[in-house]
């Protein structure tokens, strides 16, 4: 989640006057708005991780333990990573139209390498507050980094070939669900990186593969092809028609494939104790790695949103776009703020502050069993977090706009 990946205004090269500039601004703002919305939704999930008592006891999508509010607090956040990745591809496409493929390739490669390093040493530290780095957690920023590095090579292929690769990776990777490579050898580690979540070690260093790569690379490749819809000379009416067709098609395909239980997700839905829980079972698709059905379920509505989001912003949506213009800054700051607040909350609830010095993913630390608050508290924490972050993000957004000549700003 970087300026290139998440700032189509930079990628497209904002015009500064005239009717054309206004048209471009509307298109850009619709993407910033969608990105801002999913940034805010993402923060709900992370607030839940650090503050919700049941997060330390069971998975929120475990239908044998969960409730409707807990399930949907988690489920709504499923939209975040696929939307980020799709928009990363869109922004790359727009940047390439302005700068050329060679410049885009260099930018994607260096940005991707930075993101991998940031995941290892900054994001992992934010999640654990443990300077000993007992485990390196490879999550969404890692997936963005490697996907960008991969795209830096793919862009030299014909667009039709890139589209084909994207479709195959997204639609076909579930054919590999039954494949497992046991052990801790190079082949096992490679397989974890590509398609299976789990821990591994390289020498004395421990890692946890949270985001296997194949489908994420497919999504960014599709986003790169999708970016042609936002080219400066593309007719807005035709774009909206295409967005509606793609969004509706993906949503209908999700419903049909999910209902059939034939393909697209190894976790099948089933009839539950009542209709509401049956609906939750139907929506309970697999994220690690994201199944075809998970991707259709999330990107279909997101593309429909883009079809209707072009137009003037109001007071609320204008504020939301601020978050969408500085997503990496938001991401880093919100993790450290939430973790620091959780230290205070743990102390208040009778735990030691040091219990929040973690040795793995926050909810898997046994010393935190019994810690946590209700879901209302989680949402209150989230609201306070957003109120605190808005002026910081607005300041940083303004700083970037007024100091565009500073190259390092494009990395944060």
pLDDT at site 406 = 84
236 and 310 Cβ atoms separated by less than 8 Å: yes
pLDDT in tens, 171-229: 999 999 999 999 989 999 999 999 999 999 999 999 999 999 999 999 999 999 999 99
Structural domain spans, the chain = 3-411
pLDDT at site 240 = 95
Residue 306 burial (CB count, 10 A): 27
Residue 230 burial (CB count, 10 A): 23
pLDDT in tens, 99-133: 999 999 999 999 999 999 999 999 999 999 999 99
pLDDT in tens, 124-151: 999 999 999 999 999 999 999 999 999 9
- 289: cis peptide before it, omega within 30°? yes
202 and 132 Cβ atoms separated by less than 8 Å: no
Binning pLDDT at 50, 70 and 90, where does residue 237 land? very high
pLDDT at site 412 = 81
- 340-to-135, 250, 333, 365, 385 alpha-carbon distances in Å: 19, 40, 11, 17, 12
pLDDT at site 411 = 76
> In the predicted model, what is the mean pLDDT of residues 47-76?
97
Q: What is the pTM of this model?
A: 0.92
What distance lies between CA 186 and its chain's CA centroid?
28
């Amino acid at each position: 989640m970087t300026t290139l990946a998440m700032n189509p205004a930079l990628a497209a090269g904002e015009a500064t006057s005239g009717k054309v500039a206004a048209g471009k601004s509307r298109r850009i703002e619709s993407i910033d708005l969608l990105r801002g919305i999913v940034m805010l939704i993402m923060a709900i999930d992370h607030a839940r991780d650090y503050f919700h008592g049941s997060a330390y006891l069971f998975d929120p999508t475990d239908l044998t333990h969960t409730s409707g509010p807990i399930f949907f607090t988690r489920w709504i956040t499923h939209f975040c990573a696929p939307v980020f990745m799709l928009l990363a591809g869109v922004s790359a496409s727009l940047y390439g139209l302005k700068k050329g493929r060679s410049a885009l390739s260099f930018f994607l490669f260096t940005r991707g390498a930075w993101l991998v390093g940031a995941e290892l040493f900054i994001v992992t530290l934010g999640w654990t507050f443990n300077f000993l780095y007992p485990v390196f957690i490879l999550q969404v920023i890692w997936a963005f980094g490697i996907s960008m590095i991969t795209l830096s090579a793919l862009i030299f292929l014909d667009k039709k070939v890139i589209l084909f690769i994207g479709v195959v990776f997204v639609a076909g990777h579930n054919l590999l669900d039954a494949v497992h490579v046991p052990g801790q050898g190079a082949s096992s580690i490679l397989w974890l990186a590509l398609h299976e979540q789990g821990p591994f070690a390289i020498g004395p260093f421990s890692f946890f593969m949270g985001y296997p790569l194949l489908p994420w690379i497919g999504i960014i490749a599709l986003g790169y092809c999708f970016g042609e819809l936002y080219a400066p000379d593309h007719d807005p009416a035709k774009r909206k028609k295409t967005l509606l067709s793609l969004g509706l098609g993906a949503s209908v395909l999700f419903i049909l494939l999910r209902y059939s239980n034939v393909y697209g997700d190894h976790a099948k839905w089933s009839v539950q104790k009542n209709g509401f829980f049956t609906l939750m079972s139907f929506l309970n698709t697999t994220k690690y790695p994201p199944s075809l059905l998970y991707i259709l379920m999330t990107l279909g509505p997101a593309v429909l949103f883009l079809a209707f989001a072009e137009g003037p912003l109001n007071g609320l949506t204008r504020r939301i776009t601020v978050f969408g213009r500085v997503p990496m800054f938001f991401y880093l700051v919100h993790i450290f703020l939430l973790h620091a607040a959780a230290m205070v909350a743990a102390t208040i609830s009778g735990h030691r502050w040091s219990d929040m010095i973690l040795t793995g993913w926050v909810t898997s630390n046994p010393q935190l069993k019994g810690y946590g608050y209700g879901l209302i508290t989680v949402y209150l924490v989230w609201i306070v977090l957003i109120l605190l972050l808005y002026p910081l993000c607005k300041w940083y957004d303004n700083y970037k706009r007024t100091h565009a000549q500073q190259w390092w700003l494009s990395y944060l």
